[in-house]
Each structure stands twice: as structure tokens, then as C-alpha cells.
Structure 1
Amino acid sequence: MPRSLHRAAAALLGLALLAGAGCSAGPSQRPAVAYHDAEQQVPPAPQPPGPAPVPPLGAPGGETLDWSDCREQTAAELGVPAPAEPVSCAQLRSVLDPPEAPTRGTARSEVIKFGEGVPLLVLSDVAGEPGTTAAARMALRLPPEVRERFAVIGIDRRGTGASDPAECVPPEHRATIAGFDPLSTDRAELDVLLDSVRSASQECLLTLDERLQAYDTWRTAADLEQLRVELGVDKLHAIGRGEAGRLLTTYTERFPESVGRMVVDGAPDPTRDAAGEAELRAEAAEQTLDQFAADCAARRCPLGPDARAAVLDLLDSARTAPPAGPDGPVPPGRIARALLLGLEEPARWPELAQGLADAARGDGSWVATATAPVVEHTGADPPWLDGELITGCNDTTMRVPPERSADLAAEWSARFPVFGALSAQQLVWCGLWPAPQQPLPTPKQAGLPPIPVIATEHDVRSNELGTEHLADQLESGVPVRWQGSGHGAVGRSECITDAVSRFLLDGTVPTEGMVCPG
């Protein structure tokens, strides 16, 4: 049962004193009052609306998108055999809507459809692989009954993947930002990062001009609504993983009448500012690293009995003697990014451990390959860093002075030795970026259908506490917890995946507070 039902309580008005008899100049504006046995009875105040019922699943609509086959291309991107289901791709056109020209301009977004059936939108973080690839990867993890009923839809968010590119950061500055020493807390050293960020910001302003501030979550929510219309359905059913959970809640605020069966699988904390979110991310990453280290010790992995110490030694030694990669030395920032990417998927932790062990011996080939998409083109897809920087800075009004970032780096590195300074450094990225005109809305829409909100105990990108805060903030949020590790629980936890499948297929809402073992 959604927690809003437990929050609602009838507020009783205080008893009013009986007024003496007399004449009045007009009709009374006071509420109607009933009397019983000489006691005045005042009706209770109206209760806030409860959650709406689970919307009907509906049927596939009359689509207007021009789909073309992309099954072989998608299989090659995923590195798997071609799936049995049809896979199609299309271009979605929506309104760009930049601040300087509201409701004008055109945005183009790449869309993928995996299978046939009722549309189910699968969204992922703007930082990482394109949304179409992530959605196809998720489709392969969903149970057969879900794949038979739904067409899994993915979209490359504004400025990412095959959508209108937001590539604007000069290659040399992209390399500096992505490779910057993740252990640095020195203000003079941080100035080097600041110089690259300054140059990147200036170049992006020149290159993208009025389009620059149109790449954000607020406007991407409108893209989702346009996609719903083009798919020909009354309600949008969706799963949002990680930072995309914020995109879904923004959508629920802007288009509440279009909300279908939605699931949030990890999300940023809506109660914290940018610095607070960065702190929670550092904490989440450290906790996941602890799980990786324990797994390493149990498997006797090549990093030795203390993987955490081995990682710190590797990052420290790479500051002066970086491992060799195919195209030159691999800086410590790339090693930290490879670690973060690897921690997302526990099934690949043995591969991560071997790659880091190779780097410790001077061979950075695995690290270079794993992080190449961050700074280089992958086929037709632009580098990931640009979209991460642009959307991230457009989504927050907070601007942290460089001196404050240095203080936070020193403070957080003492608490979070591997990821603390790195998280503080990323606050520098937006310091010179034009601030948006208004912050993203706080989730507060009443009368929505139940929305399961899944918190993973050890999620490298989404702190469990932050996700729980979102579940509490949503009037119709249904908190669910997975005691496991990895970025997102759907498709990883059999227990969570089964509960989500029943919700999507049958409208069965998970029990509030449900806990699935790791």
C-alpha cells in the first residue's frame, strides 16, 4: 500500500464558541455547523487525495514513428548474437525549447524498439552508454513473459548517442578532465582542472550557442511526452534507473495525466543540493568498493587479500608512473573511472580485478579500452563526457567556488579515501557554467498511481539513503529494498525483477517496505 495512505490523517477543527443570537448584515461565510446534544459539531477538514489506481496496461497504439531494422547493428553494439525479437530504430522530433527561444527549434532523438507489444520505456543515466544501448541490454535481462508482452523502448537523451550531438569539449581538455588525479586535494593542482573546465565551458558556449541550455532533464521530460504521443498510447509505462529516476519524477510533475506503470530503480536524493548529492555518491561508491574487496578476498583475486589497499596503491603510483596504454600513458583519473564503471556490474568483477591488477603491473590496456568511450567516439556516438557535463550542469542551480571545492576534497578524502576527492572535484565542472533559470521541480505531485521505488544497498551510483528519501518524498512512492550490489536491481535481483514484472504485467503493487535478499 502506498505510504501516502499512511500519511493522510483527518485534521479536526477546534470547537468554536456558540455565538449569541443577533442580526447580521449578510449571509454567514462560516462553514455549516451541526449540533448534537447541545454540542457544536464541526465537520473534519477535507483529506488530501490518495494515490490513483494502477492504470490499465492498454494496448499497442497507432504509432507514427518511421522505424527501420537495426537488429544486427544492436547485436554488434551489445556483443551478443542477434536476438530473436525484431529490433527497430527511429528518429523522434520534438521541440528544442531553449531559454532564449521558448517553444521554438527542433530536437532530434534516437529511439530503439526491442520486440513488439505494449511500449515500455527503459531509461538510464545520462552519464554512461547511450540510452538505446542500455535499453536493449536491459531487454535481454527481462523475463520472457515481459518480453512477450512489451516492446522495450529506449531513447538517447538530448546530446548523447545518436541524438543531436552535444559534442563541444576540445579533445585536450576532455582528456584532462577525465584523467585528472582523483586523489588531488591541492588548490594549485585543482586550478589545472579549473582551467580545462573554463576552456571547455567557453567552447561549448560558442559551439552550441542557444542550444546549450536546452540539453537538460526538464526538456527531456517533454521529449518523453512527445514519444508517448508518437507511440499512440494514453499512458507512458517506464523504468528509470539511477539518475534517470529524476527524469521520471520530473515527467510525473510536468505530465501527471500521462503517468502509467512506472518504476524507479535507484535515484538521486531530491532533498539535497549538488554538493550533498556528490557526498552521497562518494559514500555509495566507497561502500560498493568494500563489497568488491570482500568478493576479491573470497575469490583470492589477483589484487591480493586487500583489494581496497591495492586500488589506493595503484591510483597513487599512477600519479607519477601511469601504466602504459595502446595510445600512451593511462592517467589515474581514467583508472578511477574504469573502477566506477566496473563496480556497476558484479558479474564482471573478476574482469575488473584482473584489469586493475594488470594496470598495477604497468599494463593499462584494459583500463584504456574500458574508458575509451568517455573521451573518444564510439562508432557514430560522441564521447560520453560531454553529455554528462552538459546535462549535469544544466540540471543544477548550485555553483561551488573553487576554494570550496578544495576544502570539500580534503574533507571528503579523509572519509572516502578513493572517491571523496573525485566527487568534490566534479563540483568544479559547473562552476563557470551558466546557471539554469529555475531548479528542477521537487517531486510532490499528488494523486499519482503507485510508483515502486527500489533502493539497492550497495549501488555505486545511487546511494541507498538518497533513494529512500525519494520514496518518502513521492506521495505515491512504494519503497522496496534490495540487499545486493550493482547499479540498479531490475535484471540483477530475481526477487526484485519478479516483483517489478508482476507490477508491470498485472498491476500488482509490491508490498510497501518489501526487502529482497542480496
Structure 2
Amino acid sequence: MPRRRHAALMLVALSALAACSAGPSTRPVIAVHGDGGDQPPVVVPSGPREVPPLAEGDEVGLSWSGCTGSTLDRMGDTAPAGNREYECAQLTVRLDAPNRPGRGSLGLGLLRVGTGGSPLVVVGDADGEPGSLKAARLAASLPADVLSTFTLIGVDRRGTGQSDGVQCVPDVARAGIVESDPAEETQDDLLEAVGRASQECVLDLENRLPAVDSWRASADLEQLREALGVPHLNAIGVGDGSKVLTLYASRFPDRIGRMVFDGAPDPTLDVQGVTEARAVAAEAAFAAFQADCAVRGCPLGAAATDRFKALLGTLRTAPIRGEDVDLTPGTATVAVLAGLADRPRWPALADALVAAEGGDGTKLTSFVEPLLLDSDDNPPWLDAGIVTGCNDTTTRIPPERVAGLTEDWRGKHPLFGAYFARKLLTCGPFPVPQPATVPKLVGAPPIVVLTSAADPVTPAAGGERAAQALPAGVLIGWQGAGHGALGNSSCATTAARDFLVDAKVPTSGTVCPP
């Protein structure tokens, strides 16, 4: 990697999970269109439907090859233990930019792991770990019979991972966005960085820019389903990947298979509301991190909050220079948020904060390097996250409004409020997208929605509203902290396993202990 040349992220569980598949609907059927192309309308029953049966895949046009070594290299020191074999492939999908419908194409990176006959697709966050690597990690944490019933198919959604990547933000702009101090009185430096990011992405991506969004990612999944040769799409959506699956369900309601949403975005709040909700959840996650530190006797003890604030103050006057990224108050904030989201890495996060107190910033900056740095197999996460996020909303909040929110949220959410308020500047200079007309989802089989009580990426209250918005949403609430309950909560993981493997629908409202 080249050195950056410019200085510039209760209750115990209710007892048994009941099998309660909904019976056939007696309500009238409603005709809906598929992907808006030349396909005839699909007639599906409204209301809840039964859990679809599993089917063996009959792949068409996918050529898999071994990629175990390269996958482990991509995961680096955080690779899960075990001797699993991974295979990778590329799927060509239609670009379908608004100004070039039906023209152009791009490649999607796929990874498969497992021995089961039915494919189970894994879709991740646009600004987080690519779906291929998320599938590799899930394979190490899911029950064994999930991997003998299904083959996990991790998909790097458009612009991420091994797909045709979005890599348009200049190094200096990435650094400027991440290193920007939330406590700065002016927004000038951050505005300059996001403005430069927008300028370069518009020039570099041209007609591809508006095509990198969740709407088109949902159409990619239909092409993937066809290539896998199955009548229904079985899938796990992680965080923002759940939004892609919701759009898929709305567009292709007769092809919904067994789906689990592990942390779902709030479909009812606007961008400002969602962003403030994340600030609230991040504060709760840090409180849980501090409590965990006290219980474990970690080096921060019970004073994690005070010591983090003190570290930010020290970095404000004496940032720690690094080879690829400097540890500033902004970098430290993004690093802590990334660490809070990844529950298994909390011990490493505590150690990294202590090391930073002693002048060693490398452990803490390692949490933000995936967002910023490019390698042959891991393009920066930040670029695709910004482009997708800005294409998924028409909202653009003016700087003067953001300045007011920054002051307000700094008072209400002292650790992370200012940071999240300033994130609202990111999309300002980007072109406003042409919004898609999303069909109303009126009929669907049960979909299991998992929430985490202190999830700084997709807060639990938003996931609850996402479950309520589904025709047959089934809510499982884990009282823990971090982004995602699968693999972190044995109770939530068992509920997902019983649904995916045995078609047992858990009792909605089940609460899983921390």
C-alpha cells in the first residue's frame, strides 16, 4: 500500500420458540409487477403466507474456483479459526443506470462456503465488510446443520469488495473526512473534503455513479437467484443489507424464500432522524462497552468514558502521526464506533485505547484502515458507502442547518452527537438521485428480524419498526450490544437456525438475554 502523501468511522429469553407458520391467506390477490421490465405482472396473495420449501440449486453460468488462501488473506488477523474451504466466482449483472436503462454491465464478486444443497445468500452493509467476507465469518459461527443444509453465498454488492469497485474518493479526501475533528467550530475542512470526494466520483464514475444504490442491488439479487437455479431467494441481510432484501421482496414478492434480517434500518424516519438515532445507540453501546470492561477487568477499568474523552483532548493538541493515517480526535471517534459495532473485538478495542494513551496509535487506527486504505483484494469501504448512501436518499441538508444540529446533538449526546450531526454534510455536494417507485409489499411469508439493544449501526427501535412494516415480520430482540445478533447471541442464532433449517417460525417478541 502506498504511503499517503497528504496530511490531511432484563429479561431472560422466553422459553421455547414456537412453530407457528401462518396458513394460506383468504384475502384477495393483488397483481404486482416484477422488475419493471417486459415481464408480465405476477399475481401473489396479499397478507402472510407459509414458509417456502427449500429447493436444490441448479446453477447456470457460474464458474467457481478455490479462493481459500486469498479469502484468509483478506480477513487478515481477524480471520476465524477452522479449516473451511472457500470458492469464489463472478456474476455479470446489468448496470441499469437511470439514463442508460438496459445498457452496460458490471461484475459481482461471490463467495460460497458450506455443503448444503440450498443456497443461502448473505448481503452486507454498503459501508462495511463485504458480503463475501461476512459469509466466511458466519460460516464459523452458525450451527453446523445450517452449513449442511445450505451453502452460504456471500455477495459483494455493487461497488464493494470483489465486485466492480467504487474507488473514486481521493486519498486526501478520505483522510480529511475521517480525520476531521467533531469538535471543530467550523465545517470548512470537512466541507472541502466531501466536495472533493463528490467532484472526483462524478468525473470518475460518470454514468455508473447513479447506478450504485440499494434499488439496483436488489435487482442484482434476482439475477443471482436465476443463476443459482432456485425458485425462491433464501437470504440473510446484515444491517443495510436488510434494506436491499426488503426492496427485493417488494419487487419480486413471489420469489421470497426464507429470510433473516440481522439488524434492519428504520423505514419510517428521515435521514436526520436515522442519524440521531444512531448517535443515541452509539452512546448506549459505549456504556455497554464500559460495563463489559469493568466486569472483565480490562485495562480501562470502569472509567472508559472519562479516559476516551481525555484521549480525544490529548489528540486535539498532539495527534499521533501514522504511516497511512493520523490518529486525530476524528480518527479515534470513527475507530471506536467501528470497534463498538464488532462485539467480538471489544477486548482489542480496549487494548487499542490504552495503547493510544501511551502514544501508540497503530492498534486504534487498524479499526479504520479498511475504510481508508486500498489493497489488491480490499478496496476502501468508505467510497462505496458514501456513493450508495447518497444515492439512496434525495435529502440534502444545508451546512447552516447541520451547524445547528451539531451544537444541539453535542449537548444531548456528548460522546458521538457532534460526529453524527456532521455526517449529514456528506451527501450535500453529490447529485440528487432520481428516486425509484417502490411497490408496496402486500404479501410475504414470515421474515425473521433480529435486533440488538445497543446497535450503533442499525438501532433496535428502527429494526422493530422494520419488522412491523412487513406483512409477517417476526421480531427477536437480543438485549446485547454490537452490530448484529447472529453469532453473538446463542438464543437469536438458534431462532434463526430453526427458521432457516426447519421452517419453525419463532414467537414474535421473543427476548434474548445479553
- Over 3 Å counting, the alpha-carbon distance change for 1:97 and 1:348 in structure 2 is same
Q: Secondary structure of 2:189's partner?
A: helix
Could you give the per-residue CA deviations for residues 172-226 of structure 1, whole angstroms, max 9, x where no partner exists?
1111011111333x2xx21221111111111111111010010000000011110
Instruction: Report the AA paired with residue 149 of structure 1.
Output: T
Sequence identity percentage:
46
- Over 3 Å counting, the alpha-carbon distance change for 1:276 and 1:328 in structure 2 is closer
Q: Secondary structure of 1:151's partner?
A: strand
**What residue number does 2:88 align with?**
89
Q: Secondary structure of 2:100's partner?
A: coil
Q: Does 1:509 align with 2:508?
A: no
Q: Does 1:68 align with 2:65?
A: yes
Correspondence for 1:322 among 316, 319, 323: 319
| Cα distance in 1 for residues equivalent to 2:138 and 2:480 | 18
**What residue number does 1:165 align with?**
165
- Over 3 Å counting, the alpha-carbon distance change for 1:113 and 1:333 in structure 2 is same
**What residue number does 1:275 align with?**
272
- Over 3 Å counting, the alpha-carbon distance change for 1:59 and 1:421 in structure 2 is same
- Over 3 Å counting, the alpha-carbon distance change for 1:251 and 1:226 in structure 2 is same
**What residue number does 2:6 align with?**
none
**What residue number does 1:433 align with?**
430
Q: State TM-score, norm by structure 1.
A: 0.88
- Over 3 Å counting, the alpha-carbon distance change for 1:409 and 1:81 in structure 2 is closer
| Cα distance in 1 for residues equivalent to 2:90 and 2:384 | 19
Q: Secondary structure of 2:471's partner?
A: coil
Deviation at 1:299, TM superposition (A): 2.7
Q: Does 1:408 align with 2:405?
A: yes
Q: Does 1:246 align with 2:243?
A: yes
Contact residue 253 and residue 445 of structure 1 kept, 8 A: yes
Deviation at 1:84, TM superposition (A): 4.3
Instruction: Report the AA paired with residue 178 of structure 2.
Output: A
| Cα distance in 2 for residues equivalent to 1:221 and 1:214 | 12
User: What's the Cα RMSD here?
Assistant: 2.2
| Cα distance in 2 for residues equivalent to 1:82 and 1:345 | 17
**What residue number does 1:448 align with?**
444
Contact residue 475 and residue 508 of structure 2 kept, 8 A: yes
Contact residue 3 and residue 478 of structure 1 kept, 8 A: no
Unmatched 5+ stretches in structure 1: 11-47
- Over 3 Å counting, the alpha-carbon distance change for 1:81 and 1:393 in structure 2 is closer
| Cα distance in 2 for residues equivalent to 1:327 and 1:481 | 39
| Cα distance in 2 for residues equivalent to 1:304 and 1:68 | 47
Instruction: Report the AA paired with residue 485 of structure 2.
Output: A
Could you give the per-residue CA deviations for residues 234-254 of structure 1, whole angstroms, max 9, x where no partner exists?
100001111111111011111
- Over 3 Å counting, the alpha-carbon distance change for 1:446 and 1:81 in structure 2 is closer
**What residue number does 1:495 align with?**
491
Q: Does 1:459 align with 2:458?
A: no
Deviation at 1:289, TM superposition (A): 0.4
Could you give the per-residue CA deviations for residues 411-438 of structure 1, whole angstroms, max 9, x where no partner exists?
1111111111111111101011111111
**What residue number does 1:345 align with?**
342
| Cα distance in 1 for residues equivalent to 2:421 and 2:188 | 13
Q: How does 1:15-26 map to 2 (within 5 A)?
A: none
| Cα distance in 1 for residues equivalent to 2:72 and 2:105 | 30
Instruction: Report the AA paired with residue 493 of structure 2.
Output: T
- Over 3 Å counting, the alpha-carbon distance change for 1:293 and 1:230 in structure 2 is same
Larger deviation, residues 382-391 vs 326-335 = 326-335
| Cα distance in 1 for residues equivalent to 2:461 and 2:200 | 37
Could you give the per-residue CA deviations for residues 13-49 of structure 1, whole angstroms, max 9, x where no partner exists?
xxxxxxxxxxxxxxxxxxxxxxxxxxxxxxxxxxx93
Q: Does 1:218 align with 2:215?
A: yes
Deviation at 1:166, TM superposition (A): 1.0
**What residue number does 1:486 align with?**
482
Contact residue 441 and residue 471 of structure 2 kept, 8 A: yes
Q: Secondary structure of 1:475's partner?
A: coil
**What residue number does 1:205 align with?**
202
Larger deviation, residues 449-458 vs 70-79 = 70-79
Q: Secondary structure of 2:47's partner?
A: coil
**What residue number does 1:100 align with?**
99
**What residue number does 2:471 align with?**
475
**What residue number does 1:125 align with?**
125
Contact residue 235 and residue 258 of structure 2 kept, 8 A: yes
Deviation at 1:90, TM superposition (A): 0.6
| Cα distance in 1 for residues equivalent to 2:322 and 2:352 | 12
**What residue number does 1:135 align with?**
135
| Cα distance in 1 for residues equivalent to 2:400 and 2:377 | 38
Q: Secondary structure of 2:101's partner?
A: coil
Larger deviation, residues 306-315 vs 104-113 = 306-315
Q: Does 1:332 align with 2:351?
A: no
Larger deviation, residues 298-307 vs 452-461 = 298-307
Instruction: Report the AA paired with residue 93 of structure 1.
Output: T
| Cα distance in 2 for residues equivalent to 1:238 and 1:4 | 18
When Rg is computed on C-alpha atoms for both structures, the one with the higher figure is 1
Larger deviation, residues 119-128 vs 62-71 = 62-71
- Over 3 Å counting, the alpha-carbon distance change for 1:217 and 1:323 in structure 2 is same
- State the aligned residue count: 476
**What residue number does 2:145 align with?**
145
Deviation at 1:128, TM superposition (A): 1.6
Could you give the per-residue CA deviations for residues 143-162 of structure 1, whole angstroms, max 9, x where no partner exists?
11111111101111111112
Contact residue 19 and residue 506 of structure 2 kept, 8 A: no
Unmatched 5+ stretches in structure 2: 1-17, 28-44
